[in-house]
Structures are given as C-alpha cells and as structure tokens.
Structure 1
Amino acid sequence: MKILKKDELLAAEAALLQHLPKAFKVYGYLHGLNRNKPCKWEVVVDSWPDFKAIVCRPNPENQPPFQMMSFFSADEKALKKFLEGDSAVDWSSPYIIAGIDTAYGPMLKEVCSKKKVNIQQNVLVHLMHLPDSTHLPTLTVDSENEMKISSLSSSHVDLVNNTWKFGGNAGGYRSIDNWIKNFPSSCITDKQGQPVAWILMYDYCAMGLLYTLPEHRGKGYAKVLISSMVKKICAKGYPVYCYIEVDNEVSYRLFKKMGFINDPSYEAAWFDVSNINN
C-alpha cells in the first residue's frame, strides 16, 4: 500500500481520466486535492505507479464531519484483495462507503462478513454527466431574473443546512460551510437579496443540493441554476457530473432535458458500514 503525495496525486488523477464516468467520485476528490481545496481525506493505492485499486479514506490527522470513504478499480479481484488487507481500511470504525458501483455489492458483503462488520445499502443513484457543455440547452432568461443570479455566502449556511435531506445538524453545517467557501455555487435571490433557490458543489466536485423553496417552485429556477452552474464550473475546469437518487424521477428528467446522460447499465450506491458489535 502507498499513501499518495502531491505529484503522485496528479498522476493518479490523470490515470483515472480513462475510466470516466465510473471513476468520477474518486476522480472528483483528486481534482479538488490537486487544486488545493480543503479535503479531509487521504488517498491510498495498492501499488505504485501501476495501481489497480485506489481508496479515498478519512485522514486520521484531520477528521471530517462524516466518516466516509470511496474507492475505484477496474479489477474487482485486485480491489477485493486490497480491501481484505490490513492497511487500506480501518474496519473497526463506522463508515459511509460513497458512490460505489452496485456491481461490487456482493464482493463488499463478502469482505464485510470476513471483517465481521455490518453493511447495508442506503441510497441508490444514477450517475449523470455532461460530456460536452455545448449540449447544454440555451435558456431565455429575462433581465430581471438574470440580476437575481448570484453565489451563496457563509451567511446562507443555516438556510441550506436546514433544507438539506442529510443536514440539519452540526456535521451538515460544517460540510456546507466548507463547500460554500471553497467550491462554486449558484443561487437565485428575492428582492431582499435572500436565496430562494440554489445549487452547490460537494468536495468531490459533483453538483448537488439543488433546492427551491416551496413557495418559489414552478418558475423554472432549477433549469436556470443548472445552466449557470455548468457554465461556472466549466470555466473553472471542474468536471460536470452529479448523482440523482433513482426514485427522484423529477430531477432525473430535469437533468436529462439539460443534456446530462447516464449509462442505464450502471448504478452507484451509498452503503452504511458499522461494527457488528455496535
């Protein structure tokens, strides 16, 4: 096993390009790390420079609000061997395993059984991406609405946290504060300058937290925000992708209309892992 340092992280990011879109989650973490974005994870590989398995895990010296890890491999046997070893993952701690190919589900269950930990699938998602920003449809935005498009600030953290499905707590607050301060965001404000709709970017560089206050829905704000955000992140060189929960048909259709695509044969999931004695 090897913990990657600065130049190695750049090389690993370049190597994962050939495995997009399936490698987007790990690629996104590396993209942020390599551009000096705050990221409380470390990256380990099974070998170097010709690695077959790569894992993003919490940095023991800088613990994130959520114990989360992600990994990628095009070789399931190599990944299984790496996860079963003693160095890649501390299986004594509870984890959220994020954005993992559901095809690896049986293998993960086998590994967790050997490690004597519980695993449960939590969220099933479509991986959506925009391979070419020219596929983004042209929207007609009147001058009044255009003036309402802005970016979120730290004063808006409570508002976003209280409306986020996984927020409403201190961990959510810290995460959202980090994302707003260090990554692109877009919002639409009312006449008082307060956000009524917004979209953010996670620290793995995926678009997310798209939300419109109930009393402002039906005005096409989501389309405007997606378009604004895509243009913003393309200009900054970020990848353009997101995860949509499989039961969220409204968002799925919306992103499809905005030019995003997905591989219908590929789905990803979030898994909860906990010690069997807990």
Structure 2
Amino acid sequence: MLTCRCLRGKTVREPQRTLIFTLSHFHSHSLSGACHRISLAICPSASQAMLILSCSSKLRLLEGILRKNLFQTLPVASDDLNIHVNTYAAFYWDLDVYRTLLQDTDAVNWAQNLYILGNQDGILEASREAAAVKKVQFSADSFITYMCHDPNKYPEYRLDPGFTLSSLNSSHVDLLNETWHYGGNEQSHRYLASLVRHFPSACILDVNGLPISWNLMNLFGTMVHGYTLPSHRRKGYLAVVAKALAIQVHAAGYPVYSQVALDNNRTHNFHEKMGYERLPELCHFCFHFVKEENIKDFPWASKQAPR
C-alpha cells in the first residue's frame, strides 16, 4: 500500500505498514518533479518510528506510481488565509491513515485554512469528524472526475487563418485573472502566475498575439481554467487547447483528468463530446476554516457539505 503525505520535518508514527512519499511546498513544483523536498519514509509498524530514506531509485519508483494515480489520491492543501499559495500536499490511498493524520498527529496546522479533495468513500465523514474534533468551520462541495486515456483520439478542429497554437506566459496572467470566476485579486493573480510559470499550458493566439482560448494544469495535475473569450466561442477552440495540453501531459507520463462541478452542464457536455470517461465516484472538496468569516474569502466553498 502506498500513501503520501507532508511530514513537515517531524517523525510520525503510523497505525500500519506504509510507504510514504512526501512532497512539500508544491508552489515551487514543476512538471519535472522538482520541489523543495522529496523523501521516502517506511513505517514497519505502529510501534516503530518512521525511517526517512533518500534512495533515488525508490523515489523514482514512487514518483511513477504517484503520477499514474493522482486522480485517486487525497491531496491536502493549506495556507494562512490564502489557499492559493504556499501549498503543501499529502497524497493518500488509505482513508484510515488519512483520518489518523488529521486527528492524531500534528502534521496538519489547524490554525490555517485548508482544503482536502478526494474520491474515496468516507472522505466527507472523516473530514466533518476532524473539523468537529479540531473545532473549525467545515464546508464541502462535490465534483465529477473525467479521465482521458488517449488524447490523440480527440476530435480535430481547425484554427482561423492567422491564429496560432502556443503556451501561456507571464504577460497573459492579467487576462487570466480578469476572466477567472474566482480571480480579480492579488492572491489569485499570484496563484495563476505560478501555474503559468511552473506547469504545462496551451492557448490560441489571435493575429495580434493575444490569447483568446486557453487551458492549464494545476499543482495537483488537474486540467483546469479552460476558458474562451466570449467573442470567439462556439468555434471549437477550447477543444483545440484541451487536446494540445492533454497531449503534453500524457506524453510526460501523467494521467489526463479534470474535475467538473455537478451543476456545470456545459462543461459536462464538453467532456462527453471529447470522449472523456466519466468516473462513477464523486470527488469531494472539503474546506476547513479557522473562523466562519473566512468562508466568504473562498466563494467556491460556500456550499453546505452534502450528507
């Protein structure tokens, strides 16, 4: 069994034999796998302390496993009043180990806002229970996960004359921040700038070299921020950039997947038309806030947790 988590430099005891792949501070992470610290930990039993290793061959093995299974893991992101930046991640397959991490260790700083996402059965109950124990506010929303197994089979669309396929750069961040539903502030601008700087992207440039449609990969490997300017819609441009980005991600050995809100029918139709596989289990976003008033700073977390 593989579980992955952020150790924050501490020795932690686990309830069962576990391999742990730690990746800290993903805001500096790039597609090549670079980050502030990568280490492997083996915990033989609950009675023995965890052994931190740095064997390059074992790290490469675990990185390959993690790449292929990103959509099945339980990422945890946290920061002081700003979930957009200074993210650290804990990737899990085992819900019991995840529950132990939340309630019985100090690996999670409950003085910070944080969110957890995953498609395992029981994540809502475990997160709601942890929030009650730690006396923090709790909110949740659910999404559908779509997988693409071979982006080369996507439908083909033609670009208008003078338009070119390219990648996003720092000069485009202002436009991304203005058009993103949850953007328009300094925190979201820094977050988007980090994604553009460190992760793959695809865009279509008009005759003046300005982006009119784009798609990005985020720090958890998800295809996100697909957008086309209103004046250029209904021409298949989002399908063009989605395919271009998916081919990059697939060629690098990562799964191609995205998560769509339950009520976003237009995006559901887009993924089904493109040939994505709709996974049966829901992906739950669980938000934990230090104070109730913090929820208003993250409008996508304003819904009540489903029961």
- Output aligned runs, 1:196-211, within 5 Å: 196-211=212-227
Aligned counterpart for 1:275 among listed residues 263, 285, 290: 290
CA gap 1:213/1:203 in 2 versus in 1, 3 angstroms = same
**1:106 aligns with one of 116, 121, 125:** 125
Mapping of residues 1-278 of structure 1, within 5 Å: 3=7, 32=29, 35-37=32-34, 47=43, 56-58=76-78, 65-66=84-85, 71-99=90-118, 101=120, 103-121=122-140, 123-134=141-152, 136-141=153-158, 144=161, 147-264=163-280, 266-275=281-290
SS at match of 1:3: coil
Aligned CA distance change for structure 1 residues 207 and 54 (closer, same or farther; 3 Å): closer
Give the TM-score taking structure 1 as reference length. 0.75
1:179-200 deviations in Å (ceiling 9; x for gaps): 1112111111222111111111
Q: Does structure 2 conserve the Cα–Cα contact (< 8 Å) formed by 1:117 and 1:274?
A: yes
Deviation at 1:168, TM superposition (A): 1.0
Distance in 1 separating the partners of 2:120 and 2:292: 27
Q: 1:127 to 1:36 in 2, by over 3 A?
A: same
Which ranges of structure 1 fall in alignment gaps of 5 or more residues? 6-10, 14-25
Give the partner amino acid of 1:127.
T
Equivalent-residue separation in structure 1 for 2:217 and 2:180 (angstroms): 13
Q: Distance in 1 between matches of 2:290 and 2:198?
A: 33
Alpha-carbon offset, residue 154 of structure 1: 0.5
Aligned counterpart, 2:55: none
- C-alpha separation between the residues in 2 aligned to 1:12 and 1:34? 20
Deviates further, 188-197 or 234-243:
234-243
Q: 1:54 to 1:212 in 2, by over 3 A?
A: closer
Letter in 2 for 1:129: M
Measure how far apart 1:158 and its partner are.
0.4
Q: Please give the alpha-carbon distance, in whole angstroms, between the structure 1 residues aligned to 2:126 and 2:176.
A: 36
CA contact (8 A) 1:76 1:104 kept: yes
Q: Structure 2: how far apart are the matches of 1:34 and 1:230?
A: 13
**SS of alignment partner, residue 268 of structure 1:** strand
In structure 2, distance between residues paired with 1:270 and 1:202: 15
Query: Post-superposition shift, 1:235?
Result: 2.8
Does the 8 Å contact 1:112/1:118 carry over to 2?
A: yes
- SS at 2:122 equivalent: helix
Q: Which residue of 2 aligns with 1:17?
A: none
Which deviations, in whole Å up to 9, do the C-alpha atoms of 1:141-186 show, x marking residues without a partner?
A: 25737x5211111111000011112211111111111111121111
The number of residues matched between the two structures is 251
